[in-house]
Structure 1
Amino acid sequence: MFSKLHSKDNIKNSAISYKNQVFNKKNRNFYIKAILLITVGLISYFFIANNENYYNKTIGKIIAVDETQGNTEYIKNQHLNTIIMNGKHKGEKLEFDNLASYSKIFDIDYKINDRIFISITEDEKGSIISSYILGYKRDKYLGYIAIIFVVLILLIGGSKGFKSLTSVIVNILIFYSVIKLYSHGYNLWVITTIMSIIFVIISILIVSGINKKSLCAIVGTMVSIIITMIITAIVMTVTNSKGVYYEEMEFLMTSPEQIFFIGLMIGTIGGIMDIAITMSSAINELYNKNPNIERKILIQSSMEIGKDVMATMANTLVFVYISGSIPTILFWLRNGLSLSYIIGIGINLEIIRALIGSIGVVISIPITMYISVILLKERRIGVN
């Protein structure tokens, strides 16, 4: 009997202990944040899904689609029944004919419940006499992805996630500023260089704070970018850019070489900055754990960390650049172009960007490592 009572007491105590662990202060704060974030996310979801009244353009909702086969199996004719969702004609119904192809390159295959922008023409009495489809309303899908991203980064990352999100928003504003300044006649090289420096400094300071670790990452990123661009310029000058095809940039009104270098610099900064902050954080942590660590051991340990990060980052750059060309690659393959032609000419610039970005990633490891060792040397280290 005593054994049974004792067993029940143990079970009860274990349940109470588990309950206390689950609902302790730290976990309780997490649950509160999760509920608040999910609630805000749902509110944002319903707002984006029903934001037609905030648009000046007329928006219609497709309520029925009748389809018939076109002249070929790759084309179909659509008869769309729509209802206007905003403006003074809200509630009125319109009908449209749409031609949809299998490739969807120049047209859209509309579905029921899709939202579309509509242009209408009125008579003197304000009645609709003609209308046509302007395009597809895509903001809600982008909004849904943005909501999921924000909720997850805040829920999982906490304060760090908030800092990262702030950094993303600030960098978007910086990028927008570059475009606006260029449209007003400012030199693209100058404003891009200045904005890139601001981008690096703000991104690292927001995420890591104002400290020597951030300083090491900033200096390491800057030095690595400069060296990478110098290497690229030297190689392009010596080879006279042979093997580099700028055909996809021929429609631009400025030098394609200039645009290529600017895009290369912006694209490479992200990878190098990631490596730089990783290396400076690793060395800073090693110093914190053991202020008397020998410099030789410190360098060996940080290099091992750098090698692991280098492999994944190089692969990331390759996949990021190449993935954007997948639709073009499939299109060319479908039209009978050889894979060697596509690689050699079609995605030539993407391959070069990936290779140069990988060079930047590789050289940023020893550069940031030695800069961090020098700038953090005020801590007591062991035998040199």
Structure 2
Amino acid sequence: MKYKWKTVLFCVLSVLCISAFFAAKHNAAWYNEPVAEITQIQTRQIGSKQSTRETPEEIYEQSIQARLLNGEAAGKIIELKNRYGYTQMKSEKYHRGDQVFLVTSDGEIQHEIRGRKRDDQIVFLIGAAVLFLLFFMGKQGVLTILTMVINSVVFAIGFQCFMHGKDIIGICNKMVVVFAVVTLLLLNGVHKKTWAAIASTLCVVGLIIVAFESVVHITGEIDYSTVEYLGSIETPDTVFRAEILLSGLGAIMDVAIVMTSGLDELLRKNPSLSLREFLNSGREIGYDIMGTMLNVLLFVFGSSLIPTFLVRMNNGVSMFTVIEQHISCEVYRFLIESIGIVLAIPVSVFGSVLFLRVQFFGRLKKC
């Protein structure tokens, strides 16, 4: 009966997700700006130009017929032109069936494409993620979705507070606490191991901030001239500190809950475990997860920098120059969060001792 209800629920959710996808595909009337669907398209090469690496790049022109989907002129067929290069760095290639936004000037539609309408793709991916979470994880999937929604709302509230003049560091401090408490309590329940993981996470975040401030105090403030938001933000140093608070929080929480859950299970299986055995077990668990988590962090930071590397290296800038002069702040942030992951192991073990087995302190002499 349980599996029957699970199948029925999955089918209902699948229908809802498919319905949402088709609704997003046909929601042009919801937009104030003009939307058109490409009905016919012809592409031809009109020449070539020299790229930044002195290699020829073909240039193409597309003659497009499109049908307006919204506004007073809905249903009207219009002619559009689009040019793009082989690399599609500055403009993209369009296909039949694509829905695009059009440029307007003084309320009049200009026969020029502003960009592709992609909300249907976003809805499809969200629906697929929700279905997979619910089908494979069941109740835990529901809780995972709930935590993501709550954390997204907290992010939005935090940004609004910043726009109203609140201190970004104070906002992020509160957000870190909310993220850690909400995520770990909802996903793991109200248990001693959960409180141990929350305390460990907050302690580690505090430690890496103290470590960063100590290094800055000794060596001087780092150079923020390479950050993307320089010039649009008056205090890039505070924004960078806010990034440190949040960028590695997920990985630190993961390490903390894995450590505390593993040690909690060990105590359940063997309540007579000595303090020395407990600490050794925590160290072994840390050995198993530390390398993987550091590489996960490396892949996350590295993947976000792929465009930076490719664009600059394509313009003749060496990899070492890119690292030294263009992404130094990202490297600092990666190293700081890596230190946080390493610190999360001993801190989580100590937190587990405090929350899971306080009587260990009575056994110190025996060890």
TM surpasses 0.5: yes
Q: How many residue pairs are counted as aligned between the two chains? A: 356
SS in structure 1 opposite 2:122? helix
Give the deviation of 1:84 after TM superposition: 1.2
Question: Is 2:164 aligned against 1:188?
Answer: no
Question: How far apart, CA to CA, are the structure 2 residues paired with 1:304 and 1:136?
Answer: 51
* Residue 101 (structure 1) aligns with: 85
Question: How far apart, CA to CA, are the structure 2 residues paired with 1:164 and 1:129?
Answer: 44
Whether contact under 8 Å (1:64, 1:112) holds in the other structure is yes
Question: Is 2:75 aligned against 1:91?
Answer: yes
Distance 1:209 1:120, change over 3 A: same
Whether contact under 8 Å (2:224, 2:236) holds in the other structure is no
Aligned-CA RMSD value: 2.3
After superposition, where does 1:1-384 map in structure 2 within 5 Å?
A: 25-72=1-48, 73-120=57-104, 130-241=110-221, 246-377=226-357
Q: TM-score, normalised by structure 1?
A: 0.86
Tell me which amino acid in the other structure corresponds to 2:290: M
Whether contact under 8 Å (2:204, 2:340) holds in the other structure is yes
Q: TM-score, normalised by structure 2?
A: 0.90
Question: How far apart, CA to CA, are the structure 1 residues paired with 2:220 and 2:89?
Answer: 36
Whether contact under 8 Å (1:291, 1:379) holds in the other structure is no
Whether contact under 8 Å (1:245, 1:348) holds in the other structure is no
SS in structure 1 opposite 2:256? helix
Greater relative CO (CA pairs within 8 A, separation 6+):
2
Moved more, 360-369 or 84-93: 84-93
Question: How far apart, CA to CA, are the structure 2 residues paired with 1:171 and 1:257?
Answer: 25
% identical equivalent positions: 27
Question: How far apart, CA to CA, are the structure 2 residues paired with 1:103 and 1:37?
Answer: 39
Give the deviation of 1:237 after TM superposition: 2.5
Give the deviation of 1:122 after TM superposition: 9.0
Question: How far apart, CA to CA, are the structure 1 residues paired with 2:58 and 2:306?
Answer: 21
Give the deviation of 1:102 after TM superposition: 2.9
Question: How far apart, CA to CA, are the structure 2 residues paired with 1:69 and 1:364?
Answer: 57
Give the deviation of 1:47 after TM superposition: 2.1
Distance 1:216 1:247, change over 3 A: closer
User: Which one has the largest radius of gyration?
Assistant: 1
Give the deviation of 1:65 after TM superposition: 1.7
Cα deviations by residue, 1:216-259 (Å, 9 ceiling, x for unpaired): 11100000000011111111222224577535332322222221
SS in structure 2 opposite 1:86? coil
Task: Provide structure 2 residue ranges, at least 5 long, that are not aligned to the other structure.
Answer: 49-56
Give the deviation of 1:153 after TM superposition: 0.8
Question: How far apart, CA to CA, are the structure 1 residues paired with 2:88 and 2:159?
Answer: 30
Give the deviation of 1:158 after TM superposition: 0.8
Distance 1:27 1:204, change over 3 A: same
* Residue 10 (structure 1) aligns with: none
Task: Provide structure 1 residue ranges, at least 5 long, that are not aligned to the other structure.
Answer: 1-24
Cα deviations by residue, 1:268-310 (Å, 9 ceiling, x for unpaired): 2111111111111112222222222222222211221122111
